[in-house]
Amino acid sequence: MGKYVITKRANGEFQFNLKADNGQVILASEGYSTKSSCENGIESVKKNSPDDARYEKKTSSNSKYFFSLKATNGQIIGSSEMYESTSGRDNGIESVKKNGPGGSVDDQTV
């Protein structure tokens, strides 16, 4: 099963990355001003990641593919890496759907 890794940025903000079993980052969060907000973001991923309707598939200006996971209020919870193909992006979504709901939390800020 995947895991959420909480880290602290140089600017003091907290963030999390959802990693698959192989250690690859499959979803990266925005920066949060407090750890509790970051933890709420993780709970939101756990809740929303199984739902296909929460994923927004996008194409970047340099023709790479990525996705964002959104909460029920429309706010972006996390974004993927850039993929070379739509099938790569779709596999990334499937990985978040598989690893997101039951992922453990590894808090590296303590």
CATH number of the domain encompassing residue 85: 2.30.29.80
CA distances from 6 to 31, 59, 90 (A): 11, 27, 25
Q: Are 31 and 110 within 8 A, CB to CB?
A: no
- Mean pLDDT (whole number) for 1-24: 95
Report pLDDT digits (tens) over 59-109.
999 999 999 999 999 999 999 999 999 999 999 999 999 999 999 999 999
Supply the range of the domain harboring residue 94.
Answer: 3-107
How many domains does the chain fold into? Answer: 1
- Stated pTM of the model: 0.94
